[in-house]
Amino acid sequence: MKEEKLQELLDSLSMVEKIGQLVQVPGPVLEAQGQELGVRDALGISEEIIQNVGSTLNVVGADQIRRVQKAYLEKSRHKIPLLFMADIIYGFRTVFPIPLALGCTFDPELLKKLCVATSKESVAAGAQVTFSPMADLVRDARWGRCLESTGEDPYMNCRYAAAMVEGFQEGLQEEGAGKGMASCVKHFAAYGAPEGGRDYNTVDMSERRLRQEYLPSYKAGVDAGCEMIMTSFNTVDGIPSTGNKWLMDDVLRKEWGFEGVVITDYAAIAELMAHGVAEDGKEAARLAMEAGVDIDMCTDCYANNLEALIREGSIDETQLDQAVMRVLRLKNKLGLFEDPFRGADAVREKEEILTPKHRGLAREAAIKSMVLLENKEELLPLCREDFQGEKKIALIGPFADNRDALGMWAIHGDKDAVVTVKQAFLENIAPESLVCTEGCETMLAEDYTDLLAFYEQTGKAAWSTEKRKGEMERALALAAEADVAVLALGESELQGGEGGSRTKLTIPGDQLELLRRVRKCARKVVVLLFGGRPLILDEVKELADALLLVWYPGTEGGHAICDVLFGSREPEGRLSMSLPRSVGQMPLYYNAFSTGRPYDGKTPIRFFSRYTDCDNTPLYPYGYGLAYHKAAYGPVHLDSHTLDREGKIEVSVEIANESSRAGMETAQLYIQDMAGSVVRPVKELKGVCKVFLEAGEKKTVTFQITEDMLRFYGKRLRYESEPGKFRVTIAPDSSCQLQEEFNLV
Ligand code: NOJ
């Protein structure tokens, strides 16, 4: 439909019909089944608005969507189709590793491919908008939603956010093609920085930090053309995002030129009252409208108050019109006026989901995101041939043979399609070489008192004392008779994700005890660690011979784990988040500011910026990960030590594969601005290059440094570089020393 036609359509709408476009309701309101993952009171909106609502969420499935759309349109005067949005975060039916794991791939192109695949599956099943990517920077492992973020680094987060938007939206511009889905970047802004790591809590930081570290990834999503932005639940400088005009209007629309739709997070307009910035729903609606929020997700605030606000002149009707027009434009862009079902088709849906191609991608992504943290005496890879009847593996642990491999936000994922570790083992080794048992539960009752309702939904029940004892003994007996004990341990899916903040970050339940006891009787111990956030691994590090962080690896997790364990592939992941020694270190991130009393980590002197009971450093740094090949990085070389503003310098390093195995290196470029008008981080990632080296091969990796890479928000809060001295290095992880210097003139 042409813009003039859309304008005519808008002009023909009554006030109620316009307001309806800005209201989103959960599936049940439209007699549809939809997952609900929020706290919601009965909506209390009129039948008239319900008949005119603009969108719904988490209603998926071609048949269902066709039925709901058809019923809706039959009653609709103007035949404006409903928009179907959904939380399709890291895969639809085929589930990929969680985003924090994907962050470990250092491969934005791969993420793009995964999003193209996700959009194919979702579109066939009728979904039109996805609430992904989550571009929130994370630094605090207590926050359960770390799992949905790509990590702690602004540079990588930008690249990932852009790649994901491009992937989801691929094909969207092709008129009438019914390809691609609209991507909604969230949660604008800084949702990943709640105080104390407690979900939905206050966020308060300087504008400099916000702009420098937190905003860039959302902006990268906007620059990549995302059609939608979701507000965050938190405050930014005392004002909740959903009513924050500075954020939504000045920054997002005016500075960044965003022309798409702004939607709230779940019930966030009503939460303006709970925050205490609005006395009632009417004031909340006014604040959100003034801020430039278009769609109200699942409250009655817009539905029941906008008309009165307009009639009394508190809100200008043109503002309403602009918001409605943005929604109509999106529907038009998606081709809904031509085909309200967008080709949703149950047959195609079946054909498109869980295809061998998508499963292959899931396996590849899982391999590339697993991080090998320890490999003492090169225990891994295990030799497949040894386990064809001769030697034995004891596969033990709550994750050994269950399908809890998807993580909390894979709400549309097909759990039955998950390949378990045990299943995959049996494809690799002889049945007589494998013994398997759970050993213990993932959590004990005291770990999940708050999660009880969710726990019961999983169909699991707490073990009796007898069963606990019996299983532990059985596990120890199996471990004692095997050549290798492989322990599949981790955090319960219920403990992470939204509303999954924790203060204790050790592996829950009896699992650590199981590891301690297995260690005593087993010859070799490999730990496969499942989870969605950095956990405290100091003890595990000591006890395990090999430690492989597999995260929630997704549908093909079992296969990918075996590919890595038996050496068909290398573990390719490098940490997207620093792993702490202690919860007390939170927030922990490699790119911190220098302090006036930097601690050298050696002399235990009191009056330095340090803890008296714990190192400042992480247990494993950002960017870290072992491989099966062994590479050595030579000295860094600069082609010039002076950088002109219009020029470039080249920095290079020779990397030598000193092993007899080929493998992939993830070379990381780190730069430090030695002195600025404001304090600068000790180092910042500015480039990444994945380079494949044959056994014994040497390759030179070169990065170009240009002035724009050195910009930051200085004293005047302008994004610009400052002349002076910089240090630089290329290294395998962020714990590196910066080696060379150059001057920006
Ligand atoms: C709340 C979550 O914060 C958000 O990420 C999600 O997209 C919405 N609920 C909709 O389910």
Q: How far is residue 609's CA from residue 35's CA, in Å, rounded to a whole number?
A: 47
Q: Is the CB of 266 under 6 A from ligand 1?
A: yes
User: Cα separation of 728 and 645, whole Å?
Assistant: 17
Q: How confident is the model at residue 353 (pLDDT cuts 50, 70, 90)?
A: very high
Distance (Å) from CA 492 to ligand 1 centroid: 20
Ligand 1 pocket test target in 84, 129, 229, 230 with most atoms within 8 Å of CB: 230
Whether the predicted pLDDT of 403 surpasses 60: yes
User: Which ligand 1 atom is the nearest neighbour of the CA of 232?
Assistant: 3
Mean pLDDT, range 290-304, rounded to an integer: 97
Cα of 255 from ligand 1 centre, angstroms? 26
- Is there an atom of ligand 1 within 6 Å of 87 CB? yes
User: Given ligand 1 and candidates 35, 37, 88, 411, which is best to mutate, with the most ligand atoms within 8 Å of its CB?
Assistant: 37
Q: How far is the CA of 266 from the centre of ligand 1 (A)?
A: 6
What is the bridge-based pairing of β-strands 663-673 and 684-693? antiparallel
Closest ligand 1 atom, CA of 87?
7
User: Closest residue (by CA) to atom 3 of ligand 1?
Assistant: 265
Tell me: pLDDT of 472 over 90: yes
> Is there an atom of ligand 1 within 6 Å of 265 CB?
yes
Mean pLDDT, rounded, for 538-548: 98
Q: Is there an atom of ligand 1 within 6 Å of 186 CB?
A: yes
For ligand 1, atom 1: residue with the closest CA: 266
What confidence score (pLDDT) does residue 420 get? 98
Computed on alpha carbons and rounded to an integer, the radius of gyration of the chain in Å comes to 26
Q: Is 498 in the pocket of ligand 1 (CB under 6 A)?
A: yes
Which residues are tagged catalytic?
A: 265
Rounded to the nearest angstrom, the distance between the alpha carbon of 336 and the centre of ligand 1 is: 24
User: Is there a contact between 366 and 388 (Cβ–Cβ < 8 Å)?
Assistant: no
Q: Is 136 in the pocket of ligand 1 (CB under 6 A)?
A: no
Query: Measured from the CB, is residue 368 less than 6 Å from ligand 1?
Result: no
Return the ligand 1 atom nearest residue 187 CA. Answer: 5
State which ligand 1 atom lies nearest to the alpha carbon of 131. Answer: 7
Ligand 1 atom nearest 297 alpha carbon = 10
Residues 621-636: what's their mean pLDDT? 98
* Average pLDDT value for residue range 609-625: 96
Q: What is the pLDDT of residue 36?
A: 60
CA of 200 to the centre of ligand 1 (A): 12
In this prediction, residue 35 has a pLDDT band, given cuts at 50, 70 and 90, of: low
Cis peptide before 275 (omega within 30 of 0): no
User: For residues 127 and 88, is the Cβ–Cβ distance under 8 A?
Assistant: yes
Contact indicator for 304, 281 with CB cutoff of 8 Å: yes
**Both tokens assigned to 202:** 């206050």
Confidence category of residue 39, pLDDT binned at 50, 70, 90 = very low
Ligand 1 centroid to Cα of residue 647, in Å, is 45
Among 56, 131, 242, 408, which residue has the most ligand 1 atoms within 8 Å of its CB, making it the best to mutate?
131
CB of 148 shorter than 6 A to ligand 1: no
CB 555 within 8 A of CB 95: yes
Per-residue pLDDT tens digits for 654-670 = 999 999 999 999 999 99
Q: Which atom of ligand 1 is nearest to the CA of 184?
A: 7
Q: Is 294 in the pocket of ligand 1 (CB under 6 A)?
A: no
Show the domains of the chain with their CATH numbers: 356-572 (3.40.50.1700), 631-744 (2.60.40.10)
Confidence of residue 459 (pLDDT cuts 50, 70, 90): confident
**Residue 38 has what pLDDT?**
53
Taken in order 185, 137, 232, 97, the sign of the CA dihedral is positive
Q: Does the beta carbon of 199 sit less than 6 angstroms from any atom of ligand 1? A: no
In ligand 1, which atom is closest to the CA atom of 148?
A: 5
Select the more confidently predicted residue: 176 or 223. 223
Section 252-270 average pLDDT: 98
Average pLDDT over residues 407-421: 96
Instruction: Give phi and psi for 226, each to the nearest 5.
Output: -60, 145
Pick the residue with more confidence: 453 or 111? 111
- Cα 88 to ligand 1 centroid, rounded to whole Å: 10
Q: Which residues contact 177 (CB under 8 A, 6 or more apart)?
A: 171, 335
Mind listing the pLDDT tens digit for each residue in 131-152? 999 999 999 999 999 999 999 9
pLDDT at 600: 86
- The pLDDT value recorded for residue 604 is 74
pLDDT cut 70: percent of the chain above it: 99
Structure tokens at 199: 């979900």
pLDDT at 362 over 90: yes
Indicate the top mutation candidate among 130, 232, 266, 296 to test ligand 1's pocket, ranked by most ligand atoms within 8 A of CB: 266
Q: For residue 481, give the amino acid letter.
A: E
pLDDT, residue 40, reads 47
Q: Residue 145 has what pLDDT? A: 98
Closest Cα to atom 10 of ligand 1: 266
Distance from the alpha carbon of residue 345 to the mean position of ligand 1, in angstroms: 26
Cα 153 to ligand 1 centre (Å): 23
Q: Is the CB of 647 under 6 A from ligand 1?
A: no
Q: Which of 373, 364, 354, 409 is nearest to 105 (CA)?
A: 364
pLDDT tens digit string along 575-586?
999 999 999 999
The confidence band for 41, taking pLDDT boundaries of 50, 70 and 90, is low
Distance 265 CA to ligand 1 centre (A): 6
Mutate to test the pocket of ligand 1, among 168, 498, 501 (most ligand atoms within 8 A of CB): 498
Q: Which residues contact 210 (CB under 8 A, 6 or more apart)?
A: 189, 190, 236
Q: Which pLDDT belongs to residue 449?
A: 78
Looking at residue 681, the DSSP 8-state letter turns out to be: B
Q: Which of 231, 232, 265 to mutate to test the pocket of ligand 1 (most atoms within 8 A of CB)?
A: 265
Q: How far apart are CA 742 and CA 649, in angstroms?
A: 9
Distance from the alpha carbon of residue 424 to the mean position of ligand 1, in angstroms: 33
Q: Is the minimum distance from the CB of 624 to ligand 1 under 6 angstroms?
A: no
Nearest Cα neighbor of 451 from 439, 462, 463 is 462
Share of the chain above pLDDT 90, in %: 93
**pLDDT tens-digit series, residues 188-205:** 999 999 999 999 999 999
Mean pLDDT computed over 298-320: 97
36 lines ligand 1 (CB under 6 A): no
Angstrom distance (rounded) from CA 242 to CA 191? 12
Q: Where are the alpha helices (DSSP H) in 421-510?
A: 421-428, 452-457, 465-481
Kindly indicate the confidence band of residue 357, based on its pLDDT and cuts at 50, 70 and 90: very high
pLDDT-wise least confident of 176-180, 255-259, 386-390, 589-593: 176-180
pLDDT tens digits along 492-516: 999 999 999 999 999 999 999 999 9
Give residue 132 CA to ligand 1 midpoint distance, Å: 10
Residue 535 has pLDDT above 50, yes or no: yes
Q: Measured between alpha carbons, how far is 12 from 15 in angstroms, rounded to an integer? A: 10
Give the number of residues written for the chain.
745
